A and B are shown apart, each in its own frame.
Chain A
Amino acid sequence: DIVMTQSPDSLAVSLGERATIYCNSSQSVLYTSNYKNSLGWYQQKPGQPPKLLIYWASTRESGVPDRFSGSGSGTDFTLTISSLQAEDVAIYYCQQYYNFPWAFGQGTKVEIK
Chain B
Amino acid sequence: QVQLVQSGAEVKKPGASVKVSCKASGFTFNIYAIHWMRQAPGQRLEWMGRISVGNGNTKYSHKFQGRVTITRDTSARTAYMELSNLRPEDTAVYYCARFIMVPTAYSGFDYWGQGTQVTVSS
A residues sitting closer than 8 Å to B (CB atoms) are 1, 38, 40, 42, 44, 49-52, 54-56, 59, 61, 93, 95, 97, 100-107
Q: How far is the CB of B52 from chain A (nearest CB, A)?
A: 12
Most buried by B among A51, A61, A93, A97: A97
Q: How far is the CB of B110 from chain A (nearest CB, A)?
A: 5
Q: By the criterion CB–CB under 8 Å, are B108 and A100 in contact?
A: no
B window 32-52: CB within 8 A of A: 35, 37, 44-47
A1: B residues at CB distance < 8 A: 62
Q: By the criterion CB–CB under 8 Å, are B44 and A55 in contact?
A: no
Interface 9-mer from B11-19, B69-77, B78-86, B112-120: B112-120
Most buried by A among B45, B47, B112, B113: B45
> A60–B55 Cα gap in the complex (Å)?
30
Q: By the criterion CB–CB under 8 Å, are B44 and A93 in contact?
A: yes
Known: A49-B95, A104-B45, A107-B44. A40 touches B62 (CB 8 A): no
B107 close to A (CB within 8 Å): yes
B27 close to A (CB within 8 Å): no
Residue of A nearest to B112 (CB): A49
B window 59-112: CB within 8 A of A: 59-63, 95, 97, 99, 106-110, 112
Q: How far is the CB of A36 from chain B (nearest CB, A)?
A: 8
Q: How far is the CB of A63 from chain B (nearest CB, A)?
A: 10
